Structure 1
Amino acid sequence: MEENFSTSITVPLHAAAALEKICQVPAWWGVTIEGPTEKLDDQFVIRMGQEAYFNCAITELIPGKRVVWSVGDCFMPWYEDKTEWSGTLMIFDLDESGSETEISFTHEGITPESECYKDCQPGWTHWIRNSLFSYLTTGKGDFKQR
């Protein structure tokens, strides 16, 4: 079995502040969000363009340590498997050391065998390593995906 997609960054912030900013999703990820994204059991919809959506819930939240977004129903019109993200988990683990925090992101259920991996791997790499990093360090996300 192949590994889930994961990547990490280290930022000069305490974990609690970093987690608070991660939950401000539109500031760093080029999507529209409907609903709250800050507390355990919050339910929200991620929208990409006119048709694509991902119904999510915060299913685990450990302040300053971890937040998990569980994807329920979804629709990705550009793939043969339009619901490939259903049942996947977007996991942010935070490890504070001194005045820095390492943020490890894993999209559990998205592996090299996944249809979307060819797009998700460079996409998530950009949104975490470039945009989230930029937002956490400068206050402005990087919406120009390379």
Structure 2
Amino acid sequence: MDNNFNISISAGISADEAIKKISKVTEWWGVNISGNTAKQNDEFIIKMGGDSFFNCTVTELIPGKRIVWLIGDCYMPWYTDKTEWAGTRLIFDINEHGGAIDLHFTHEGLTPGLECYKDCKPGWTHWIANSLRSYFITGKGEFKQR
């Protein structure tokens, strides 16, 4: 059984537009980034405040189909294992049909056994189901969690 965190959303946009919008990380995810996110092998750093960071690489980019970000080194000072996300992958799989898309997001390696899961599950649920979906539909992310 797949214990990785998964969530799916749908929106009335093209797969190419979805790929472009996912790559504009600060428009839908409440983080700061430095670096580039739009092409395969691009590297970027996510900052969530304080000393926290997540070094990411775009390891896969299939136009209109899939984006994969590998988290290399990271530092999450609020958890016992400060590098719990290191080696995990953020996977965005897109299926376009009739002018709309279904997006399936997986945080591969984020499983219920990890300390951060209790915080990350509702966090990802908000950032994907509310904010990214809103950004797809309205052009604006939703930064306040419900």
TM-score (norm 2): 0.98
Deviation at 1:2, TM superposition (A): 5.5
CA distance in 2, matches of 1:105, 1:15: 14
2:105 matched to which residue of 1?
105
Which secondary structure state, in structure 2, belongs to the residue aligned with residue 125 of structure 1? helix
2:81 matched to which residue of 1?
81
Deviations 1:71-109 (A, max 9, x none): 000000000000000000000000001111001000000
TM-score (norm 1): 0.98
CA RMSD of aligned residues (A): 0.8
Report the identity percentage. Answer: 60
Gaps of 5+ in 1: none
- Superposed, 1:1-146 pairs within 5 Å as 3-146=3-146
Which secondary structure state, in structure 1, belongs to the residue aligned with residue 90 of structure 2? strand
Gaps of 5+ in 2: none
4+ long deviations beyond 4 Å: none
Q: How many residues align?
A: 146
Which secondary structure state, in structure 1, belongs to the residue aligned with residue 7 of structure 2? strand
For the 8 Å contact 1:60–1:66, the answer to whether it is kept is: yes
For the 8 Å contact 1:8–1:103, the answer to whether it is kept is: yes
